[in-house]
Chain A
Amino acid sequence: MHRLRHLRGELPGRSHRREIRKFVTSSVFKKPGDISVKECPQVLKRGGFMITGKYLVAVSIWLPVAAALLCWLGQSYSLRNIVSYLTGIILAVCALGLFLSGPFDYQPGEIWGLSWNTAISAADFALLALILYIGWRQRHKLIIILAAIQALLLICFDFGLGGSEIEPVPAFAVDHLAIIMALIINIVGSLICIYGVKYIAEHEEQHPVAKSRQPRFMFWLIIFLGAMNGLVFANNLYWMYFFWEVTTFCSFQLIGHDQSDEAIGNACRALWMNSLGGAAFALGLVILLRYGGGDYLSMQYLLSHHTAAGATGAILLAVSMLVLAGMTKSAQLPFQSWLLGAMVAPTPVSALLHSSTMVKAGVYLILRLAPVYAGTYLSSMTAIAGAFTFLAASVLAISQSNAKRVLAYSTVANLGLIIACAGINTPTAISAAIVLIIFHAVSKGLLFLCTGYVEHEIGSRDIEAMEGLADRLPAAATIFTIGIISMFLPPFGMLVGKWAAIESAAQLPLAAFLLVLASAVTALFWLKWLGRMLEGRPGAIAQREIMDSHYIASLGGLTAAAVLLSIFIGPVVNSMVTPAVTQYYFSPGLEANLETIAAGSGGLFSVWPLFILLALIAVAAGFLYQPRKVKNPPVYLCGENAGLPESTVFMTTGENMGEVKLSNYYFTGFLNEARWSRVVNRVGLIMILLLLGVTLW
Chain B
Amino acid sequence: MELINKSRVKSPWLLHYDGSSCNGCDIEVLACLTPIYDVERFGIINTGNPKHADILLITGGVNKKAARVVKNLYEQMPEPKVVVAVGVCACSGGVFHDCYNILGGIDRVIPVDVYVPGCAARPEAIIDGVVRALQVLAAKTDKEAVV
State whether the Cβ of A89 lies closer than 8 Å to any Cβ in chain B. no
Interface string of B33-72 (1 = CB under 8 A from A): 0000000000000000111000000000000000011101
Closest to A650 in B: B72
- Chain A residues closer than 8 Å to B72, beta-carbon distance: 634, 639-641
State whether the Cβ of B17 lies closer than 8 Å to any Cβ in chain A. yes
A636 near B76: Cβ-Cβ < 8 Å: yes
**CB proximity of B20 to chain A, nearest CB, Å:** 13
Closest to B15 in A: A639
**CB proximity of A379 to chain B, nearest CB, Å:** 56
State whether the Cβ of B73 lies closer than 8 Å to any Cβ in chain A. yes
Interface string of A621-638 (1 = CB under 8 A from B): 000000000010110101
B51 near A636: Cβ-Cβ < 8 Å: yes
State whether the Cβ of A96 lies closer than 8 Å to any Cβ in chain B. no
- Chain B residues closer than 8 Å to A634, beta-carbon distance: 72, 76
A639 near B51: Cβ-Cβ < 8 Å: no
- Chain A residues closer than 8 Å to B49, beta-carbon distance: 636
Closest to B17 in A: A639
State whether the Cβ of B75 lies closer than 8 Å to any Cβ in chain A. yes
Q: How far is the CA of A97 from the CA of B8 in the complex (A)?
A: 67
Q: Find A640's partner among B69, B75, B78 (CB 8 Å cutoff).
A: B69
State whether the Cβ of A20 lies closer than 8 Å to any Cβ in chain B. no
- Number of A-B residue pairs having CB atoms within 8 Å of each other in the complex: 26
Tell me which residues from 519 to 578 in chain A have a Cβ below 8 Å from any Cβ of chain B: none
**CB proximity of A636 to chain B, nearest CB, Å:** 6
Interface residues on B, range: 10 to 19
Closest to A638 in B: B69
B69 near A633: Cβ-Cβ < 8 Å: no
A633 near B68: Cβ-Cβ < 8 Å: no
Q: How far is the CA of A642 from the CA of B71 in the complex (A)?
A: 11
- Chain A residues closer than 8 Å to B76, beta-carbon distance: 633-634, 636, 639
- Chain B residues closer than 8 Å to A129, beta-carbon distance: none
Closest to B75 in A: A633
**CB proximity of B65 to chain A, nearest CB, Å:** 8
Closest to A637 in B: B72
- Chain B residues closer than 8 Å to A633, beta-carbon distance: 51, 75-76, 78
Q: How far is the CA of A270 from the CA of B49 in the complex (A)?
A: 54
A636 near B68: Cβ-Cβ < 8 Å: no
Closest to A645 in B: B75
State whether the Cβ of A510 lies closer than 8 Å to any Cβ in chain B. no
State whether the Cβ of A651 lies closer than 8 Å to any Cβ in chain B. yes
Most buried by B among A636, A639, A641, A651: A639
- Chain A residues closer than 8 Å to B50, beta-carbon distance: 636, 639
Tell me which residues from 425 to 448 in chain A have a Cβ below 8 Å from any Cβ of chain B: none
Q: How far is the CA of A634 from the CA of B78 in the complex (A)?
A: 12
**CB proximity of B78 to chain A, nearest CB, Å:** 8
Q: How far is the CA of A601 from the CA of B75 in the complex (A)?
A: 58
- Chain B residues closer than 8 Å to A651, beta-carbon distance: 68
**CB proximity of A200 to chain B, nearest CB, Å:** 48
- Chain B residues closer than 8 Å to A641, beta-carbon distance: 72
Most buried by A among B17, B49, B68: B68
**CB proximity of A646 to chain B, nearest CB, Å:** 13
Q: How far is the CA of A638 from the CA of B76 in the complex (A)?
A: 10
- Chain B residues closer than 8 Å to A642, beta-carbon distance: 68
- Chain A residues closer than 8 Å to B68, beta-carbon distance: 639-640, 642, 651
Closest to B76 in A: A633
Closest to A631 in B: B78
**CB proximity of A339 to chain B, nearest CB, Å:** 45
Tell me which residues from 597 to 638 in chain A have a Cβ below 8 Å from any Cβ of chain B: 631, 633-634, 636, 638
Q: How far is the CA of A639 from the CA of B56 in the complex (A)?
A: 13
Closest to B73 in A: A639
| Residues of chain B at the chain A interface (Cβ within 8 Å) | 17, 49-51, 68-70, 72-73, 75-76, 78
| Residues of chain A at the chain B interface (Cβ within 8 Å) | 631, 633-634, 636, 638-642, 651
Shortest beta-carbon contacts, A-B, top 10: A639-B69, A639-B72, A639-B73, A641-B72, A633-B76, A636-B49, A640-B69, A636-B51, A636-B76, A636-B50
Known: A639-B70, A640-B69, A641-B72. 12 other contacts (CB 8 A): A631-B78, A633-B75, A633-B76, A634-B76, A636-B49, A636-B51, A636-B76, A639-B72, A639-B73, A640-B72, A642-B68, A651-B68
25 A–B contacts, CB within 8 A, in A order:
A631-B78, A633-B51, A633-B75, A633-B76, A633-B78, A634-B72, A634-B76, A636-B49, A636-B50, A636-B51, A636-B76, A638-B69, A639-B17, A639-B50, A639-B68, A639-B69, A639-B70, A639-B72, A639-B73, A639-B76, A640-B68, A640-B69, A640-B72, A641-B72, A642-B68
